[in-house]
Amino acid sequence: MAQAEIDSRVAELEAAFERRARANGRTFEQEVEFLLERGRKFTPEEGVAVSRYFHSRCNGVQPSLTLDEIREGLM
């Protein structure tokens, strides 16, 4: 029950971010960047909404680096 309420609140916040971004002539990503640059901290719900938005834009879980790839990157 509580999870459904949280999901509902997150969906409302995502929609609010979208409306705010459109009103300011920015994309969702630009709006989030703008808010981060101003140093304004997100509420926990806003953080979840932003995180879910960006996760929804990824194509699944990205594979972890192998140890060889990690070592190669450090050299």
In the numeric block, the tokens 């920015």 are attached to 26
Identify the pLDDT of residue 1: 55
1-21: average pLDDT: 77
Predicted TM-score (pTM) of this structure:
0.49
| Percent of the chain scoring above 70 in pLDDT | 93
The model's pLDDT over 13-24, given as tens digits with 9 standing for 90+, comes to 788 878 888 888
Per domain, the residue ranges of the chain are 2-66+69-74
Q: Which of 2, 10, 4 is closest to 52 using CA atoms? A: 10
Share of residues in the chain with pLDDT > 90 (%): 0
